[in-house]
């Protein structure tokens, strides 16, 4: 089957080297899509997790090899390091095997709209009140991923498709929703200061597409919980998709329009 051609792909939070990385879904997604540009929006290799656990199956190497091959075959690949691969930030403005390492990237859509991509850990101060709260959140999230891992294994043995228990629980915790809202507003304010029409982030593992204060907020999600990616089609339309056994379109945006395709509540329900 020939791959589907798109102008641009944004993916983040692959967390290669982490036991919860869904590399098999990611590989299938990458094999099924060919892009002129791929923007890696941080936390590609999880150096933080690898300090505590050595986990690197063949599928993780295959993901890196495929991305490098795409770069050598003519795809422009931009790598924006995140907080879990911040060691790569030492090499900003360097090119590794034709992969460009940048602190951020401004993409121009088919319609000339400017989309700013940053990982999103830049906005942590707007989300957390203290380091203690951040640590407590990390511990709670690790437990959620533990539950998610075993739920997925049980569902797989029973023949059910992938479903994220972690996302289901997280979206029903009030403090998590408050933190997500603060993050989104901080990202949009940053985009407005940079005169961008839209901003793409990762970091919080919450895929979404919505208009906030006349700025398009985009989060391409992750490959730990949600298995999601953001794509720009050849006509400039933006699609947020989930790619598992049964790929689904979560949201779409007509880049020619000035407002989001549906109201924020509908977008949040779709992304959940």
Q: Helices 58-72 and 23-32, interaxial angle, to 10°?
A: 30
Strand (E) or helix (H) holding 37 = strand 33-40
At residue 129, the pLDDT reads 47
pLDDT for residue 2 is more than 90: no
Q: How confident is the model at residue 54 (pLDDT cuts 50, 70, 90)?
A: confident
At residue 128, the pLDDT reads 65
Tokens representing residue 246 in the block: 């049964």
Residue scoring higher pLDDT (82 or 169)? 82
For the segment 177-190, the average pLDDT, to the nearest whole number, is 91
Pairing status of strand 4-11 against strand 228-232: antiparallel
At residue 267, the pLDDT reads 42
Whole-number Cα distances in Å, 144 to 119, 121, 157: 22, 20, 20
Q: How confident is the model at residue 79 (pLDDT cuts 50, 70, 90)?
A: very high
At residue 58, the pLDDT reads 97
Q: What are 207-258's pLDDT values in tens digits?
A: 999 999 999 999 999 999 999 999 999 988 999 999 998 999 999 998 665 4
CATH number of the structural domain spanning residue 35: 3.60.21.10
Q: How confident is the model at residue 156 (pLDDT cuts 50, 70, 90)?
A: confident
Contact 82, 41 (CB under 8 A): yes
| Four-CA torsion 237, 238, 244, 248, nearest 10 degrees | -60
Quick check: pTM over 0.75? yes
Total domains present in the chain? 1
Query: Which domain, by its residues, includes 219?
Result: 4-271
Q: Give the residue from 2, 5, 3, 11 showing the smallest Cα distance to 224.
A: 11
Percent of the chain with pLDDT over 90: 60
At residue 256, the pLDDT reads 63
């Amino acid at each position: 089957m020939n791959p589907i051609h798109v102008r641009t792909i944004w993916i983040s939070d692959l967390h290669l080297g982490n036991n919860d990385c869904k590399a098999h879904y990611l590989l299938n997604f990458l094999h099924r899509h060919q892009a002129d540009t791929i923007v890696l929006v941080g936390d590609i290799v999880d150096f933080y997790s690898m300090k505590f656990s050595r986990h690197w199956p063949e599928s993780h190497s295959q993901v890196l090899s495929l991305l490098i091959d795409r770069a050598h075959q003519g795809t422009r690949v931009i790598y924006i390091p995140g907080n879990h691969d911040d060691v790569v930030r030492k090499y900003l403005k360097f090119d590794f095997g034709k992969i460009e390492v940048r602190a951020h990237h401004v993409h121009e859509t088919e319609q000339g709209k400017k989309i700013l991509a940053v990982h999103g850990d830049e906005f942590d101060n707007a989300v957390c009140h203290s380091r203690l709260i951040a640590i407590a959140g990390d511990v709670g999230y690790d437990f959620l991923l533990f539950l998610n891992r075993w739920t997925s294994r049980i569902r797989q043995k029973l023949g059910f498709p992938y479903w994220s228990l972690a996302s289901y629980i997280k979206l029903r915790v009030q403090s998590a929703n408050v933190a997500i809202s603060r993050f989104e507003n901080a990202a949009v304010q940053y985009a407005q200061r940079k005169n961008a029409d839209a901003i793409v982030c990762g970091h919080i593992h919450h895929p979404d597409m919505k208009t906030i204060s006349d700025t398009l907020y985009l989060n391409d999600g992750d490959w730990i919980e949600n298995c999601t990616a953001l794509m720009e089609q050849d006509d400039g339309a933006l699609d947020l998709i989930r790619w598992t056994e049964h790929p689904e379109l979560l949201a779409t945006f007509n880049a020619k329009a000035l407002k989001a395709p549906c109201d924020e509540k509908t977008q949040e329900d779709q992304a959940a």
